[in-house]
């Protein structure tokens, strides 16, 4: 009698893929992916065991339209019998997400993986299945420390390999051919493209370009070094963007690394950086992936659109530009869709731009993740900033053998040479005194700590040549204003800008005079980077003035301000590397107990109430930005069709991506009050549209108060 062939998939046109074919195809891909961090054998074993539960009569009926069947637990159970709990964890969650592992005392009523396996052992716990071949005997990967945080990343990486391999093998069968997944050009080709791009820069034609070329040469030279942890500490205006790309490409070629990942704090910087990289390397080599860049690939879409949409699923592209939020939340996620890309972070160069902006509340989980990527997954890390945070003590805890090396060693001389302005301190200024000073200046930038203060001070200025920037303006509005601001600056016209800190990092503007409300020293120096940015004026006539405001600063800035005042008191020149180091050491000391507010690292090192490796619970807790704001979409002439579609129930990724350029985030109390007053219409899925458009001012954005005077603003 012919042996029964169990089926894994049936395509829409009736073709059939057997379980054995699917397992072997998935195993080959999974092993290939895991070989990037030395785990080919373990990856192949996962692929061969993940869908053995499909070898059951119940699942075969499911393929013909029957009820949903648990087909993941069977493979996990077979791995657990071999004491391969790491493999069981990957397999049991390859569709539903990594579970909390639990402990050996968990009963069959526990929601953990151990509880689920106990239920599977009971009669009828899962469908009866047949093994298509003998269980794979493999061993845990060697060379890893035996601690919870290391194990958690190893499991996530192997899980990522399995999820991506499973998707890709299934996709190839269903399409009867691999999908349009161009991997872009090689690191060698991209390195050659960059060399051609920078060739006209040599020899440099002025002092500033000479300094930038010096930074660039250092990065190219240091790119020949081995994998590890590096810092790139270059003052604002030193050309870090192209220089860091030069390091990354040369380093990738030298060390056989697969891709370059840029991790950037703000979407505004991402858009600028991605555009620069596309100009240098070509459209098909750069993937821009963040909340505002979700890409749909409808039927008939261009090959490039299909590539972008598919590459966003698993980051299979040469250069990825993404946000710190997406990067770190993916690393601590348990969901298959978020984890699918993780294995492609291995064997990469990862540039952390504006590294000082890693939130102090999550420094430990961030540094723990970064440490493991370098120590165990063959990645090189670069902390790139003008104000280098002092993270060595944290790195030494999670990767003792990892020590940071500076790419541009003559940092002190670089800071001296690139100094563009004098920083003065003005003491306390009332809003009226500050507005008077701003009015007296032809071109001036003022940065304050709250949106309300920015609006209040702006209203005291003459309307001609005055601008307000804050997140109460939707992003497209801010972009339009910055175009006008740059135009006025270049033409020598009056230009007075009152802004929140959003203008500090990565926004190219050049003012002769900057006022900065007291904040962290890193913020003060970033503000100073907008003063005489291009070095067209003398240092002596270019001033950044730090003042204390009558407005209360947000509580979250208390530690930053305290550490800044200490560094200012101890250092005559606050622009030096010594002053910056002094600030960050003080900041880390003052905020030490707040570096892991959700105790994510502790959850994996010690478990949660006896539950070991709590993937699901930790993922639900970890939020990189504790943002209680709600988004309100602002209707305009240009987005009228999209707003109408939204109100008619359309909910596509492409629609939300377009409307993201017109969204304003407001705090929940303000949001609820505006709903109560009828100024906001709340649609299904908590989607909100501004109904009373008179509340959105062309100069100051969304009003802090409802027309009825009831809304609260913070």
Query: What pLDDT, on the 0 to 100 scale, is given for residue 628?
Result: 59
Eight-state DSSP code of residue 625: S
Confidence band of 291 (pLDDT split at 50, 70, 90): low
Reply yes or no on whether the pLDDT at 4 is more than 50: yes
The reply to whether 440 and 368 lie within a common domain is no
Average pLDDT over residues 204-218: 90
Reply yes or no on whether the pLDDT at 295 is more than 60: no
Residue 131 lies in a domain: yes
Task: State the residue range of the domain holding 301.
Answer: 187-409
- 57/127 Cα distance (integer angstroms): 8
Three-state secondary-structure class, residue 441: coil
Residue 582 lies in a domain: no
pLDDT digits (tens, 9 = 90+) for 558-603: 999 999 999 999 999 999 999 999 999 999 888 877 799 999 999 9
Reply yes or no on whether the pLDDT at 707 is more than 50: no
Reply yes or no on whether the pLDDT at 17 is more than 50: yes
Average pLDDT in the chain:
89
Q: Cα–Cα distances in Å, from 429 out to 458, 512, 613?
A: 15, 20, 52
Reply yes or no on whether the pLDDT at 302 is more than 70: no
Residues 6+ apart with CB under 8 A from 49: 23, 75, 78, 79, 87, 91, 135, 136
Query: Picking from 24-28, 168-172, 409-413, 526-530, which range would have the lowest pLDDT averaged per residue?
Result: 409-413
The reply to whether 361 and 426 lie within a common domain is no
Three-state secondary-structure class, residue 469: strand
Residue 620 lies in a domain: no
- 62/60 Cα distance (integer angstroms): 5
Q: Which one has a higher pLDDT value, 386 or 31?
A: 31
Average pLDDT over residues 355-370: 92
Residue 15 lies in a domain: yes
Residue 646 lies in a domain: yes
Three-state secondary-structure class, residue 212: helix
- 531/544 Cα distance (integer angstroms): 7
Average pLDDT over residues 608-621: 94
Reply yes or no on whether the pLDDT at 497 is more than 90: yes
Count of Cβ atoms closer than 10 Å to residue 231 Cβ? 22
Query: What pLDDT, on the 0 to 100 scale, is given for residue 273?
Result: 87
- 88/84 Cα distance (integer angstroms): 6
Reply yes or no on whether the pLDDT at 713 is more than 50: no
The reply to whether 573 and 467 lie within a common domain is yes
How would you classify residue 583: left for phi > 0, otherwise alpha for psi between -120 and 50, otherwise beta?
alpha
pLDDT digits (tens, 9 = 90+) for 501-517: 989 877 889 999 999 99
The reply to whether 433 and 527 lie within a common domain is yes
Q: Which one has a higher pLDDT value, 272 or 644?
A: 644
Query: What pLDDT, on the 0 to 100 scale, is given for residue 196?
Result: 96
Average pLDDT over residues 236-259: 94
In a 13 Å sphere around the CA of 621, the CA atoms on its Cβ side amount to 18
CB 596 within 8 A of CB 364: yes
CB 33 within 8 A of CB 164: yes
Residue 539 lies in a domain: yes
Tokens representing residue 613 in the block: 């490796």
Q: Which one has a higher pLDDT value, 272 or 41?
A: 41
Query: What pLDDT, on the 0 to 100 scale, is given for residue 578?
Result: 92
The reply to whether 544 and 656 lie within a common domain is no
Nearest C-alpha neighbor of 445 from the set 516, 386, 493, 505? 516
Query: What pLDDT, on the 0 to 100 scale, is given for residue 297?
Result: 42
Query: What pLDDT, on the 0 to 100 scale, is given for residue 708?
Result: 38
Query: What pLDDT, on the 0 to 100 scale, is given for residue 686?
Result: 80
Nearest C-alpha neighbor of 225 from the set 249, 254, 256? 254
- 244/512 Cα distance (integer angstroms): 28
Query: What pLDDT, on the 0 to 100 scale, is given for residue 136?
Result: 76
The reply to whether 392 and 468 lie within a common domain is no
Eight-state DSSP code of residue 530: T
CATH of the domain at 468: 3.40.50.300
Q: Provide the β-strand partners of residue 495.
A: 443
Three-state secondary-structure class, residue 85: helix
Residue 647 lies in a domain: yes
The reply to whether 19 and 75 lie within a common domain is yes
Average pLDDT over residues 6-11: 93
The reply to whether 169 and 196 lie within a common domain is no
Average pLDDT over residues 373-384: 96
Tokens representing residue 479 in the block: 């972009």
Of 391, 409, 427, which residue sits at a domain end? 409
Residue 1 lies in a domain: no
- 59/453 Cα distance (integer angstroms): 62
- 13/195 Cα distance (integer angstroms): 49
Q: What is the pTM of this model?
A: 0.87
The reply to whether 404 and 423 lie within a common domain is no
CB 11 within 8 A of CB 173: yes
pLDDT digits (tens, 9 = 90+) for 168-185: 999 889 887 665 555 789
Q: Cα–Cα distances in Å, from 404 out to 97, 369, 480, 573, 628?
A: 35, 16, 40, 25, 36
Of 577, 608, 642, which residue sits at a domain end? 577
Query: Picking from 136-145, 472-481, 602-611, 686-695, which range would have the lowest pLDDT averaged per residue?
Result: 136-145
Q: Report cis status (omega within 30 of 0) of the bond before 203.
A: yes
Nearest C-alpha neighbor of 70 from the set 12, 117, 9? 117
DSSP H or E segment with residue 329: helix 324-331
Share of the chain above pLDDT 90, in %: 66
Nearest C-alpha neighbor of 331 from the set 118, 66, 601, 551? 601
CB 560 within 8 A of CB 587: yes
Of 175, 195, 230, which residue sits at a domain end? 175
Nearest C-alpha neighbor of 151 from the set 474, 376, 388? 376
- 341/343 Cα distance (integer angstroms): 6
- 544/445 Cα distance (integer angstroms): 9
Confidence band of 522 (pLDDT split at 50, 70, 90): very high
Query: How many domains are there within the chain?
Result: 4
The reply to whether 654 and 528 lie within a common domain is no
The reply to whether 505 and 541 lie within a common domain is yes
Average pLDDT over residues 393-418: 90
Query: What pLDDT, on the 0 to 100 scale, is given for residue 208?
Result: 82
Tokens representing residue 576 in the block: 């030096």
The reply to whether 464 and 391 lie within a common domain is no
Average pLDDT over residues 12-41: 94
Reply yes or no on whether the pLDDT at 55 is more than 70: yes
Average pLDDT over residues 452-474: 94
Average pLDDT over residues 325-332: 93
CB 714 within 8 A of CB 669: yes
């Amino acid at each position: 009698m012919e042996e029964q062939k169990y089926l894994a998939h049936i395509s829409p046109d009736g073709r059939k893929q057997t379980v054995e074919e699917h397992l072997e195809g998935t195993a080959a891909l999974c092993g290939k992916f895991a070989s990037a961090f030395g785990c080919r054998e373990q990856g192949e074993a996962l692929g061969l065991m993940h869908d053995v539960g499909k070898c059951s009569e119940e699942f075969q009926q499911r393929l013909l339209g029957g009820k949903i069947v648990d087909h993941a637990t069977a493979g996990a159970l077979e791995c657990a019998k071999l004491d391969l709990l790491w493999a069981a964890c990957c397999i049991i969650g390859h569709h539903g997400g990594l579970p909390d592992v639990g402990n050996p005392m968990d009963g069959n009523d526990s929601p953990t993986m151990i509880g689920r396996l106990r239920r599977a052992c009971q009669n009828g716990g899962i469908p009866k299945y047949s093994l298509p071949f003998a269980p794979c005997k493999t061993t845990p990967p060697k060379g890893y420390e035996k601690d919870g945080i290391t194990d958690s990343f190893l499991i996530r990486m192997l899980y990522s390999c399995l999820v991506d391999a499973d998707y890709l093998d299934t996709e190839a069968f269903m399409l009867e051919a691999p999908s349009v997944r161009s991997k872009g050009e090689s690191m060698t080709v991209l390195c050659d493209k960059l060399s051609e791009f920078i060739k006209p820069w040599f020899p440099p034609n002025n002092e500033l370009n000479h300094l930038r070329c010096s930074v660039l040469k250092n990065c190219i030279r240091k790119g020949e070094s081995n994998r590890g942890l590096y810092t790139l500490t270059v003052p604002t205006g030193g050309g870090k963007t192209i220089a860091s790309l030069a390091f990354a490409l040369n380093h990738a070629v030298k060390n056989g690394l697969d891709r370059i990942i840029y991790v950037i704090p703000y979407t505004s910087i991402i858009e600028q950086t991605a555009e620069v990289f596309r100009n240098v390397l070509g459209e098909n080599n750069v993937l821009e992936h963040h909340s505002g860049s979700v890409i749909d690939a409808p039927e008939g879409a261009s090959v490039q659109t299909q590539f972008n949409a598919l590459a966003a699923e698993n980051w299979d592209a040469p250069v990825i530009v993404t946000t710190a939020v997406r990067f770190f939340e993916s690393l601590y996620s348990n969901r298959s869709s978020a984890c699918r890309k993780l294995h492609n972070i291995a064997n990469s160069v990862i540039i952390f731009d504006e590294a000082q902006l890693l939130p102090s509340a999550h420094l430990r989980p961030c540094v723990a993740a970064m440490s493991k990527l370098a120590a165990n997954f063959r990645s090189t890390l670069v902390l790139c900033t003008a104000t280098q945070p002092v993270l060595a003590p944290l790195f030494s805890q999670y990767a003792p053998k990892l020590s940071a090396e500076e790419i541009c060693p003559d940092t002190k001389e670089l800071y001296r040479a690139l100094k563009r302005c004098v920083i003065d301190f003005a003491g306390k200024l009332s809003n009226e005194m500050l507005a008077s000073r701003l009015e007296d200046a032809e071109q001036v930038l003022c940065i304050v700590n709250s949106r309300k203060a920015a609006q209040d001070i702006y209203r005291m200025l003459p309307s001609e040549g005055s601008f307000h920037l804050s997140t109460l303006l939707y992003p497209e509005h801010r972009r339009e204003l910055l175009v006008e601001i740059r135009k006025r600056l270049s033409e020598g016209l009056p230009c007075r800008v009152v802004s929140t800190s959003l203008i500090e990092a990565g926004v190219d503007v050049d003012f002769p005079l900057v006022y900065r409300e007291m904040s962290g020293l890193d913020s003060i120096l970033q503000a100073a980077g907008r003063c005489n940015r291009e070095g067209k004026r003398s240092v002596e006539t270019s001033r950044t003035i730090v003042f204390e405001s009558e407005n209360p600063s947000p509580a979250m800035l208390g530690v930053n301000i305290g550490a800044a005042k200490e560094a200012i008191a101890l250092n005559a020149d606050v622009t030096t590397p010594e002053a910056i180091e002094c600030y960050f050491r003080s900041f880390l000391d003052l905020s030490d107990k707040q570096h892991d507010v959700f105790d994510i690292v502790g959850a994996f090192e010690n478990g949660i109430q006896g539950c070991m490796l709590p993937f699901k619970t930790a993922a639900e807790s970890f939020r990189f930005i504790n943002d209680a704001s709600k988004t309100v979409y602002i209707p305009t002439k240009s987005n009228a069709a999209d707003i109408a579609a939204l109100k008619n129930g359309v909910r596509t990724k492409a629609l939300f991506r377009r409307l993201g350029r017109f969204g304003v985030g407001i705090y929940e109390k303000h949001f609820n009050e505006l709903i109560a007053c009828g100024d906001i219409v709340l649609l299904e899925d908590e989607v909100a549209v501004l109904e009373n458009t008179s509340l959105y001012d062309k100069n100051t954005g969304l009003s802090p108060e409802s027309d009825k005077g009831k809304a609260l603003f913070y």
